[in-house]
Structure 1
Amino acid sequence: MTTLAFVNLPVADLGRSTVFYEALGYRFNPQFTDEKAGCLIISDTIYAMLLVRPFFGEMFGRPVADAHATTSIMVCLMVDSKDEVDRLCNAAIASGGRKYKDVEDRGFMYGWGFEDPDGHVWEVGWMDPAHVMPEGEPA
Structure 2
Amino acid sequence: MGRQAKHLYINLPVKHVKESKAFFEQLGFDFQEQLTNDQAACLVIGDTITVMLLTHKHFQTISEKQLVDARQGSEVIVSMRVDSRKEVDELVEQAMAAGGSPFKEKQDHGFMYGWSFQDLDGHLWEVFYLDEERSSLS
Q: Common fold, TM-score beyond 0.5?
A: yes
The partner residue of 1:104 within 104, 107, 122 is: 107
CA drift at 1:72: 1.2
Normalised by the length of structure 2, the TM-score is: 0.92
1:47 and 2:67 are equivalent in the alignment: no
Count of matched residue pairs:
135
- Residue 79 of structure 2 corresponds to 76
CA drift at 1:133: 6.5
Q: CA RMSD in A?
A: 1.6
Normalised by the length of structure 1, the TM-score is: 0.91
- Residue 130 of structure 1 corresponds to 133
1:90 and 2:98 are equivalent in the alignment: no
Partner secondary structure for residue 86 of structure 2: helix
**Amino acid in structure 2 at the alignment position of 1:53:** H
Shift >6 Å, 4+ stretches: none
**Identical-pair percentage:** 40
Structure 2: gaps of 5 or more residues: none
Structure 1: gaps of 5 or more residues: none
CA drift at 1:35: 1.1
